A and B are shown apart, each in its own frame.
Chain A
């Protein structure tokens, strides 16, 4: 509609120049890197690609990545639901500060996100000596990787849910309560169905980041091959060993996850728009 107003149409020469610049920019920075990724992965054929993935260290990395995401994502879902419930449905002092603190991990360098846990649980960290005497290993082991992942994905779910819950207000929940529903019933039958798409959206983004995180996990993992290597770390090791086909093969799995996330995101956004329109 808007584009059809004659005074708002950009003249053709402008369209052509700006359009060419955009095509060049998108091609250079988005399309070509993505193309390179898959071209390199399949450079030596499908067999070499499959062999590169079907290898013990690669499977260990895939398993570890799935394990870490399976722990970190549900933890942040529970947190996100709790945080958005108290922030969106109640008024209290310090709410603004709480919201800012929840967003804090987004503005911290991934390296620092790993560093803070090394300073806390590492050998020379605050709790290091105590942990060592009790034979508990956190850094260079699964718990450290999970902690760093939870930190970097901390705001995702809460951030999606808070604006949705705020927009929906409290009337439906109050009505349910007055009609005799318990608090848990109200949440499950009224609130959750209302926010389910937003929740799914948050979970998708949280999961993509959890599986793909590199910097923070790299700092806490110790890079023990087959034991504390997640998929992104495995990609790094293969790449540094000049095993390019294998590095890009594992990387292509992560890229497929990213593309699937983008597709699901687009589908959810489209759904949200049509629901509002109808």
Chain B
């Protein structure tokens, strides 16, 4: 009965509101032209090298080194963002202090600032004679043109992700459960560890995964600060550009497809995490 009613209503709605075919047509045509056909061109070009060719290009020493540095730096950067992003989200939601709204808006700076601009600013800051690079140099640490520089650029561009995924969950968190825990005799630390953190866990992991995924593909901010020495500070996206500049289209496409596979796995993980979060908070 309800099913029949639903379909009647849906049928009427389709008649009442026009433009379904037109807008779906525009959407599909534009999506195909801009996204689907070019992505298909990439995959078919990579398929041209064959499975063995893919394996061969993936296990090349220079490629392996670039994957190691890309994933290593991304993992470190995402972890730093997880820790500090959570604290930042906590302060923004729970504390009242002057300049809170300003800080809240400021967190999005890495989203808005062009990556190349961030890249040259960070490089100047952390180069040997730069304001912070000088201090590090005093301790014998090289930041810019070395692996730590890559991680610093990736911390910058991934900074908003953890804050922006944790913040809304923290805002929704019922203060009553924390009060209940406190009333039942839990210390503040226990309440946070046993009550708050488990509630935040899906959001924390999602923010971490988003920051990590963004870091793996990042190009603009990293190439200035990295130094780009093959095998040492060369990231995968730069290696793709290098192959392209040497007219090795197939090699570039094979690397790109490998990276896409990684992003799809990440995307899947993020989707599953969000479903898990919805299930826990749902109903």
Interface residues of A (CB under 8 A from B): 2-3, 5, 7-8, 10-11, 14-15, 18-19, 21-22, 25-26, 28-30, 32-34, 36-37, 40, 75, 78-79, 81-83, 85-87, 89-92, 98, 101-102, 104-105, 107-112, 115-120, 122, 124-126, 147, 150-151, 154, 170, 173-174, 177-178, 183, 186-187, 205, 208, 211-215, 218-219, 231-233, 235-236, 239, 244, 247-248, 251, 254-255, 258-259, 261-263, 265-266
> Which residues of B lie under 8 Å from residue A232 when comparing CB positions?
114-117, 220
Residues of A within 8 Å of B237, CB to CB, are 109-112, 215
Q: How close is B103's CB to chain A, nearest CB, in angstroms?
A: 7
Q: When the two chains form their complex, are residues A122 and B249 in contact, meaning their CB atoms are under 8 A apart? A: yes
* With known contacts A3-B94, A232-B114, A251–B121 Cβ distance under 8 A: yes
B200 CB to closest chain A CB (Å) equals 15
A32: which of B19, B37, B113, B131 is its contact (CB, 8 Å)? B131
Contact A90 B14 (CB under 8 A): yes
Q: Closest residue to A105 on the B side, CB-wise?
A: B35
> Contact: B219 with A110, CB < 8 Å?
yes
* Closest partner residue, chain A, to B6 (CB atom): A91
What is the chain A residue whose CB lies nearest that of B37?
A120
Q: List 27 A-B contacts (CB under 8 A).
A: A7-B179, A18-B91, A19-B95, A28-B132, A32-B132, A34-B113, A79-B26, A102-B31, A104-B35, A108-B217, A109-B259, A110-B219, A110-B220, A111-B238, A111-B240, A120-B37, A151-B34, A173-B16, A186-B17, A214-B219, A214-B220, A215-B220, A218-B241, A232-B116, A232-B220, A233-B116, A258-B117
Binding site secondary structure of chain B = helix
Residue ID in chain A nearest B26 by CB atoms: A82
The CA-CA distance from A49 to B244 in the complex, in Å, is: 35
Nearest chain A CB to B84 CB, angstrom units: 4
A251 contacts which of B39, B117, B217, B247 (Cβ < 8 Å)? B117
| Chain B: CB-nearest residue to A270 | B101
Are A124 and B249 interface neighbours, CB within 8 A?
A: yes
Tell me whether A215 and B263 are in contact (CB under 8 A). no
Q: Once A and B bind, how many residue pairs between them come within 8 Å at the CB atom?
A: 278
For A187, what are the chain B residues with a Cβ–Cβ distance below 8 Å? 19
Which A residues touch B156, using CB under 8 A?
29-30, 33
Which of A28, A33, A208, A265 interacts with B105 by CB under 8 Å? A265
**Could you tell me the distance between the alpha carbons of A87 and B182 in the complex, rounded to whole angstroms?**
46
Contact of B88 among A22, A91, A126 (CB under 8 A): A22
Q: Are B244 and A22 in contact (CB under 8 A)?
A: no
User: Once the chains bind, are A40 and B30 in contact (CB under 8 Å)?
Assistant: no
Closest 5 CB pairs of A and B: A212-B114, A109-B217, A183-B18, A214-B220, A116-B38
